[in-house]
């Protein structure tokens, strides 16, 4: 018996929303391998397989120690046959053959490059790949007609694939705050998404906006967007109006996982020098025409009515797997439906003005944002 090989874990609950999953954990080598396979499954539109790998990775992220041998995994939930095989391979050989083959495959590389273009999903990328288009430059030379989002995506490709830093997120937050307060005094703005979970970088910056007087938030997004546009902060934006039908019994029950808030998917123009009024982010962007003093940053804005704020906050803080697990827990363990708008116990709408109350309704221990990095 080798000492120190037994994990001190007695039992680990099977839903990610029952566990604390910090950003930094002890099993990165294993979770990186599983994440590649998850990504590959998602790019091949094999959602079920993607979720299985993500669940296995999330389980490993929540363990208090590094896994050194497969025998330590006995009795742990969420580890399917395929994931276990990959984990054992990495533990024994340092690498997994399947992961290596995947990362080096032309299809995986091309699908990653093409879906890395803002506005391009797996379906479109796959169609292009089968036409022999493997890179954004192949695409530009192909003569394909692109939509407005995709044109912006190609135009700012390199920058949008550069991680957004925390100082950049803070600088964007100050701009959005100015916009929001200029068009609706008293409105409140909260940083959501990965940065709220404590991530130091992100692929975008996400904000949730609301107003304590229910109803005042209606139609807010177009005003915020006009203000930002007039000040020259937007390189691209697509705003969607809200589509919820509210009744006396509470917000409409979700027809799907997609939520119905007013929202804006945008690309900001962020100054990186001191000439603008923003914080200096100390970063110089190299372009074909040489360095310039601003960069493009993806920003998502969501507006919610005050009464739905806690649900929107919980639903937009992520991680995506954590959200999925919350909804799965609600349905399978509590016979409830959870969305970014509401929680229903069969027909009954359960009110909540904080995330803590929602966890309590669901019979779950409260998990703070920094531990939702499943």
**Catalytic site residues?**
204, 206, 300
Strand partners, 287: 290
CB of 72 to ligand ATP, least distance (A): 29
Neighbouring residues of 99: CB distance < 8 A, sequence distance ≥ 6? 33, 36, 37, 86, 90
Min separation Cβ 325 and ligand ATP, Å: 11
Q: Is 211 in the site for ligand ATP (CB under 6 A)?
A: no
Enter the tokens of residue 361: 């309704």
217 binds, among ligand ATP, Mn ion, none (CB under 5 to 8 A by kind): none
- The crossing angle, in degrees rounded to 10, of helices 106-115 and 28-43 is 80
- Beta bridge partners, 336, equal 345
Contact mark string toward Mn ion, 278..317, x via CB under 5 A = ----------------------x-----------------
Cis status of the peptide bond prior to 373, with omega within 30 of 0: no
Residue 204 · residue 153 · CB < 8 Å: no
Range 303-342, binding ligand ATP (CB under 6 A): 315-316, 318-320, 323, 340
| Residue 193 sits in the site that holds Mn ion (CB under 5 A) | yes
- Residue 101 or 240: the one with the smaller Cβ distance to Mn ion is 240
Q: What mask, x for binding ligand ATP by CB under 6 A, covers residues 103 to 142?
A: ----------------------------------------
Is 206 an interacting residue with respect to Mn ion (CB under 5 A)?
Answer: yes
Q: Which residues, in sequence order, are CB contacts of 230 under 8 Å at separation 6+?
A: none
Nearer to Mn ion, 208 or 362 (CB): 208
23 sits near Mn ion (criterion: CB under 5 A): no
Query: What is the Cα–Cα distance from 139 to 282, expressed in whole angstroms?
Result: 32
314 with 342: CB under 8 angstroms?
no
User: With CB under 5 A, what is the number of residues at the site for Mn ion?
Assistant: 6
- Least distance (Å) from ligand ATP to the CB of residue 258? 5
The distance of closest approach from Cβ of residue 205 to Mn ion in the complex, given in angstroms and rounded to an integer, is 7
Cα–Cα distance measured from residue 157 to residue 114, given in angstroms and rounded to the nearest whole number: 10
238 binds Mn ion (CB under 5 A): no
The answer to whether 135 and 141 are in contact (CB under 8 A) is no
204 binds Mn ion, rule: CB under 5 A: yes
Q: Which SS3 state, helix, strand or coil, does residue 318 take?
A: coil
Q: Residue numbers of the site for ligand ATP (CB under 6 A)?
A: 193-194, 199, 202-204, 206, 258-259, 300, 315-316, 318-320, 323, 340
């Amino acid at each position: 018996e080798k000492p120190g090989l037994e994990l001190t874990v007695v039992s680990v609950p099977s839903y990610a929303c029952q566990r604390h999953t910090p950003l930094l954990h002890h099993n990165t080598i294993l979770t990186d391998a599983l994440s590649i396979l998850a990504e590959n499954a998602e790019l091949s539109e094999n959602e079920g397989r993607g979720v299985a790998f993500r669940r296995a990775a999330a389980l490993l992220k929540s363990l208090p120690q590094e896994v050194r041998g497969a025998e330590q995994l006995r009795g742990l939930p969420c580890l399917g046959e395929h994931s276990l095989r990959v984990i054992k391979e990495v533990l024994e050989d340092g690498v997994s053959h399947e992961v290596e083959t995947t990362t080096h495959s032309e299809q995986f590389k091309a699908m990653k490059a093409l879906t890395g273009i803002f506005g391009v999903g797996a379906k479109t990328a796959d169609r292009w790949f089968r036409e022999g288009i493997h890179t954004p430059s192949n695409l530009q030379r192909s003569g394909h007609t692109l939509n407005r989002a995709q044109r912006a995506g190609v135009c700012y490709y390199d920058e949008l694939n550069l991680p957004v830093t925390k100082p950049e997120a803070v600088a964007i937050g100050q701009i959005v705050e100015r916009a929001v307060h200029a068009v609706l005094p008293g409105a409140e703005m909260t940083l959501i998404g990965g940065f709220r979970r404590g991530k130091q970088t992100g692929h975008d910056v996400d904000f949730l906006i609301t107003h304590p007087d229910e109803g005042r938030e209606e139609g807010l997004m177009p005003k915020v967007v006009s203000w930002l546009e007039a000040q020259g902060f937007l390189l691209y934006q697509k705003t969607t109006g809200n589509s919820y039908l509210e009744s006396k019994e509470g917000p409409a029950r979700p027809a799907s996982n997609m939520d119905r808030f007013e929202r804006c998917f945008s690309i900001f123009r962020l100054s990186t020098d001191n000439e603008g009024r923003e914080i200096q982010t100390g970063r110089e962007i190299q372009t074909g025409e040489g360095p310039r003093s601003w960069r493009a940053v993806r920003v998502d804005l969501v507006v919610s009515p005050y009464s739905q704020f806690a649900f929107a906050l919980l639903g937009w803080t992520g991680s995506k797997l954590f959200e999925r697990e919350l909804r799965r827990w609600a349905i399978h363990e509590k016979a409830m439906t959870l969305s970014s708008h509401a929680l229903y116990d069969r027909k009954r709408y359960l009110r909540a003005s904080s995330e803590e109350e929602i966890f309590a309704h669901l019979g779950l221990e409260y998990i703070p944002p920094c531990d939702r990095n499943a």
